[in-house]
Amino acid sequence: MIPGNLDDDEGDESRADASGEIRLPATLESSGPVPPKAEIVIVGGGVIGLAIAYYLARRGLTDVVVLERGYLAEGASGRNGGGIRQQWSTEINIRLMQESVDLCRRFAVDLGVNVWFRQGGYLFLARSQKEVARLQKNIDLQNRCGVHTKMLEPKAAQEIVPELDLRGIVGAAYNPTDGILFPWPFLWGYARQAAAHGVRIFTQTPVSGLVPQQGGGYDVVTPRGAVRARRVINATGAWSPQLAKLIGVDVPTYPIRHEICSSEPLKPFLRPMVSELSSGLYCSQSMRGEIVGGVTLPGHGSTYAMGSTLEFLATYARRLVRLMPILGDIKILRQWAGPYDQSPDGNPILGAAPAHPDFFLACGFVGHGFMMAPIVGKLYAEYLTGDKPHEIFSRYTLGRFSDPALAGQHEKEDFNIG
């Protein structure tokens, strides 16, 4: 039988702070002119841009302006499944995510916002020996980095999720300290605390021009006037190429629509995020009880169209019910899509653009900028306030796509799923 429906409000994720409400920063600005100048202008009010703003302010650099063309949580940051994992195929991403998980664990205390972070683990399922070998290779590396992922036999995976149908499953990887959090208060928490420290956040403020200034910096042109910035950070996600083109910089990322949906609330039964390698299916259960998940639909190409499709819903339903037949009668309540910011090699693009030392990039994270935002924001703030740059800023420079000598300095991340 299906786990019972929730008829009360226990665990309602809309309660994101101690007062029982999610509150946007009081200084969020949706009207009026932009200031005439700022030390740093961050274009993009998603979680990457807001995390950078928050950590800059925490380090004392508060002359920061964030410009968001729409509303907060309008883009990819508000359209994802909230997964936070350390299971990766490259050492640098494993170590980055170890730190990001620690920051997520402390988020409620450090920023005063409950993001409902729960560490129920990630369970990756393999349907072939080739996939098992791939998981085992990753597990060996993760273990060397101090991430205690284990390879499981199918029966052991079913002990973690008894509802699994094991037909066709030949192995699994499980790390119990991976987790899930609620995306909206995560983003709003960064916004609120950045604003509390003096950062000015402007919504409904698209950037239409970047005018280089003699001696460095840019006039950032908006419908509310221009703000002269000594440095500009492009944190616009899948729209990063459009902003970069304003100064003639070619950013080779492109948007891939990724669809997702949410069911009616059920009584809690699914602790980990479950992901199937062969199909890209993933699903988890929210604190309210919804089953939230998606599945890969290949062959749709690059698009900014974010509409939902029946093809996705039918594919997701077939895969999900095959994996957990108990869910065959649940009702889907919401369906939406968001853009993956796809880079050619699956790694982000960071640091200053070649020949543009005052124009910084924070894009190309595929579907995982959300989970990497805490550590990337922290490292970017350290870099821009004078600390020695972390190796990500030299390994993941835009120049690697045009300079063969740089192209071989990093490993390709091949575990951009779920």
pLDDT at 12 over 60: no
Query: Does residue 322 sit within a domain?
Result: yes
Would you state the structure tokens that stand for residue 51, as one six-digit string? Answer: 């995390």
Is 107 inside a domain boundary?
no
| Residue 247 near residue 241, CB atoms below 8 Å | no
Across the chain, which distance is largest between two alpha carbons, in Å? 70
Q: Going by C-beta distance under 8 Å and a sequence separation of 6 or more, which residues neighbour residue 368?
A: 416
> Do the domain assignments include residue 97?
no
263 and 222 belong to one structural domain: no
Inside any domain, residue 358:
yes
d(CA 87, CA 93): 9
User: Which tens digits make up the pLDDT trace of 369-379?
Assistant: 999 999 999 99
**Residue 164 and residue 261 in one domain:** yes
- The pLDDT of residue 145 is 98
Which residues share a beta bridge with 262? Answer: 292, 334
Question: 260 and 336 in one domain?
Answer: yes
Q: What is the mean pLDDT of residues 325-343?
A: 95
Q: What tokens appear for 316 in the block?
A: 């997701």
Give yes or no: residues 223 and 351 share one domain: yes
Mean pLDDT of 167-182: 97
CA dist 166 and 19 (Å) reads 44
* Same domain? 270 vs 324: yes
Which of 316, 342, 368 corresponds to the end of one domain? 342
Tell me, yes or no, whether 276 and 172 share the same domain: yes
For the domain that residue 50 is a member of, what is the CATH number? Answer: 3.50.50.60
**Does residue 246 form part of some domain?**
yes
Determine the pLDDT at residue 355.
95
Range(s) of the domain holding residue 126: 118-179+254-342
- Do residue 326 and residue 393 come from a single domain? no
In eight-state DSSP terms, residue 412 is P
Calpha distance 265→4 (Å, rounded): 9
For 54-103, give the DSSP string: HHHHHTT---EEEE-SS-TT-SGGGSS--EE----SSHHHHHHHHHHHHH
Q: Which helix (H) or strand (E) holds 282?
A: strand 282-285
Find the range with the poorest average confidence among 26-40, 136-150, 163-177, 358-372: 26-40
Band (4; pLDDT cuts 50, 70, 90):
very low
Q: State residue 44's pLDDT score.
A: 97
In a domain, 29, yes or no: no
